[in-house]
Structure 1
Amino acid sequence: MHLDETNDNSGSRPPSDNGEEALETQRGPSKRQISRRRGHFKSRLGCHTCKRRRVKCDEIHPVCGGCRRLDLRCEYPSTAAGISCATRALSMASSAAIQAPLASLTLQDLRFYHQFLTVAHPTIPLKSEALWMECAAMSHEYDFLAHAVLGLGAAHITQSAPGLDYTTEALQHRVTAMQRVNERLSLPSHSPREEDALLAAVLCLVSQSSLLPGLENMAEHLTMSRGASLIAHSLIKEISTSLFRAHQDEHFEILSSMVQEQPKDQNTIDGFRASALALQPLATNDNERNYADGLISCIDAVEISAIEAWKRFLDVFMMALSFSHEDFSAFVSPVNHVARLLIIHAFLVEYVLGQVCIAPTEAPSTPSRKNVIIAWTRQVAAALPAEMKNYADWPLDFASQLETLDSRYLWSP
C-alpha cells in the first residue's frame, strides 16, 4: 500500500542568491538547524521505562522497540487502557494483517478495521474481546475473514456515527465475504485454524446483518443466525481444539456474572405482556403459538429472577433457528404479518429485559443495534394491513421510548 499523502519537502528550499547556502554546507549544520531537527511530537502514551529514560517511545504493544532492544521491562500507563485492545491486536496481526487479504486496501478500510478492533466485534461469545482480537490477527491469512471484519466495521460506523454513511462499502465487503465463505465451505476438508476462521467470518456476517435497516435484512438476520448455528455444530468437528471452545463452556458462567437485578418498570412489563397476549389468537400454527407462548414466558419470568428471564429468552431465540427448512421459510416470509409481529416483539423484549437484567455499566458503547431495531419496528408496523395496525401500537410506543433509553439488551447476535 502506498500512502500518497506523505509530503517530501527535501530539496524544496529555494537556492540562496548570495552563496550562503553553499557556505553553510561546507561548514556543516548551524546550531539553529540542529535545534530545529531535534523537535518531535511527545509520546503521551509511551511506556514508563522510556519516560524515565527521557527518550521517545514508539508505543508498540506489548513491548516497545526501545525496551525490546535493551531487554528492559516494558509497562504502559493506565491512560492507555482505552486503546490497549486495538494496539495489542495490531501488534499480533503485524503489518501483514493489512496487506495480504485485499488486493487494494484503502484508508477507509483501515478505519473499518479499527472500528472492529475497538467496538464493533461480535458480542457472541460473551465477553470475548481477546478471542476477537485473535480472529482479527488471523484475517491476514483468510480473505473471507478480512472482508467480513471490514464489512462489520463499516456497517457499525454507519449506524453509530451520525453523518457518516459507508453502506456501499459495507455491502461490498459483505457480498465478497459471503461468496468466499461459501466457496470454502464447499471444499471437503479444512484445517482446525481455517474452521475457526470460517466460524468467525460467519459470526461477523451475522452481527453485520443486525446493523442493516430494511425488513429484508431483518429476515436475513434470522437466516444468518440459523446458518451460524448449523455451521457451529457441523463445521467445528474437533471442538476441543477450537478458539471458541473455552467461550462455549463459559457462556452461562459469564452470563450469570453479567446479570444483576435492576429496578423494574411495571408499566413497560405489563404493556409487553398485553401486546404479546393479543398475538396468541392470531397464530395459525404450532410454531407461531409456541413462539408467542415463549415471549409471554420471558416476561413472566421477571417475577422469578433476572437470570431466569434471560434463560427463557435464549429458548425463544433458539426456537426459530430449530424450525425445519419449510417452517422457517414460512416464518420469515414477507407476507406472514403475524410472524413479523412476533419477531419484532422478540427483538424488543431484549431491551425490555435489558433494563431489568443488566447493570447500566454493561450497556453497549454505541446505540447502533438499537437504532436498527427501532427502524425494523416502524417498518413492520408500516407494512401491516389496515386491520392489523392496532397490534403494533405497543411496539411503536416502546420504540419511541427506547430512543430515550440506554442500549442495554440481552446480547444476542
Structure 2
Amino acid sequence: MTLQDRHVAVYITGGIAVYKAASVVRGLMKQGAQVRVAMTAAATEFVTPLTFATLTKQPVITDLFRADNTAYVPHIELADWTELAVVVPATANSLAKLATGIADDVVTSALLATTAPVILVPAMNEHMWTAAATQRNLKLLQGDGRIIMEPATGLLAEGYAGHGRLPEPAQIVAFVQTYWAKVTGPLVGRRFLVTAGGTKERIDPVRFISNDSSGKMGYALAAAAADQGATVTLVSTVALPTPAGVTVVSVSDAREMLAAIQTHFADLDVLIMAAAIADFRPAQVADQKIKKTVDNDEMTLALVKNPDVLQTLAQTKKQQLMVGFAAETQNLLANAQQKLTKKRLDMLIANDVARADSGFGVDTNQVTVLQPGHAPEQLPTLAKTVLAKRLIEMITEKLK
C-alpha cells in the first residue's frame, strides 16, 4: 500500500547512520507521503538540516526556541500534524529518553506529544544494542505500543561486523509501508495463503520431475495481498526474495505442499493456488543415484497420481474463498471452465503458457478470469506485479 498523502514525520537522532536517513525520506516521498523532519542537535553534526529541507521542501525543526519557528509551539504542531512517525536512526540515547518520557529537545518533546503510531529504527554499536539497559528500554517502548524494526547485522562504524547496523533505506521504507497496510489496508484481519513455484517430485537424490514455473506470479500475489493489510503465508518451492510482511513456508513436492496448506486451511479467508503442482510422481524413489550401465539403453519410470490438492481441500471448505490457476497450452477456456466447476473454485485464473509473453519463466502474464455465474473477463498482458495488484483488487471486492 502506498503512503499517498499520508503525513509522515521523520525524527533523526545523532548517529553515523544519519547519512542513510536522507534516502529513507526520499523513499517515503516516492511512495506519496508528505514528509516533515525534526532533528536533534547531535544529528545536525552529521548531516545539515538543509539536506532534509531541500528534499522535503519543508523547514526542518531543530530547536524548541528558535525565533524563526513558523508555529508558536512547533513540537506540538508537528505532533498534531503527524499520522505516522519514524525515528531513524534511533540511538541508544534517544531510546532511553523515549522509554522514560524525557522531553529535553524538539525530537523527544514532539514524540512525547505524538498520538499517532511511532516506528523506531535503532542503530548503534552491537554492545550498546545488547546492553541490559537498552534491552530493558526496548521492552518498555514495546509495552507503550511503539513499533521496533530490528537492526541489521553487518559492518559497523567501528570497523568490525556486528548486530546494530541500520537496515538499508529500501528495507525501512518497505517496513513502514507494511506496517501502514497492517493498520489501514482493506484486507486488515484477513488471512491469505498463496502457493508459488513448481513442485519437485524426486526420482533419486539428484534428480526430480518438475516444470518451468518460476514462482514469480505467486510471490507477486503474496506481496500485493500483504500490501493491502492481509496476513499472508506463502508456501513456496522456490527461493525468491521474501516480500515484506509475508511468512514463507518452504516445501518441495506436492504432498508436502498439501500438508502445509492443510495446517493453515481452517483459519484462512483466501487460498490462492498459483503453484504448478505435478499431477504425477515416481512410484518409487531410489535411495542412491541411478547409474547408467552399458547393458541398459532405456529406463522405464513408473508414475502414480499425486493427490489433487484443490479437490482435497474442497472437501473441507467452509468460509474460504478458493482461487485456482489453470496453465494451459490448448482449449484454454474449455479446460479452465471444467476446472472451475469440478474443483468448486470461487475464481480461476487461466493463462496460455504456450505464449512467449505469458506464464512460466517471464515477467509478464496475460490471463482470463473466470467466476461462477460471470462471463469470462480477459485482462491485457501485464507485468506480473501489476497483474497481481489487479487480481488482489478483484479478490477484495469478492470478499465484500
TM range (shorter): under 0.3
Which structure's residues are more often strand, by fraction?
Answer: 2
Higher relative contact order (CA 8 A, sep 6+): 1
Which structure's residues are more often helix, by fraction?
Answer: 1
